[in-house]
Amino acid sequence: MATEEGEEEMARKVRPINAEQKWCSPRQAAQVLGVSESLVYEAANENRIPHRKIGTRIIIPLDWVNRIEEVS
Residues 6+ apart with CB under 8 A from 6: none
Q: Could you read off the pLDDT of 14-47 as tens digits, one per residue?
A: 888 887 899 999 999 999 999 999 999 999 999 9
Instruction: Decide if pLDDT at 10 tops 60.
Output: no
Q: What is the pLDDT of residue 15?
A: 83
CA end-to-end span of the chain: 26
Q: What is this structure's pTM?
A: 0.76
Please name the helix (run of DSSP H) or strand (run of DSSP E) that holds residue 45, with its range, or none: helix 37-45
Residues 6+ apart with CB under 8 A from 62: 17, 21, 22, 23, 24
Q: Quickly state the pLDDT bin for 9 (edges 50, 70, 90).
A: low
Q: What is the pLDDT of residue 43?
A: 98
Q: Mean pLDDT, to the nearest integer, of 48-65?
A: 96
Q: 72 by DSSP, 3-state: which? A: coil
Q: How far is CA 59 from the centre of its chain?
A: 8
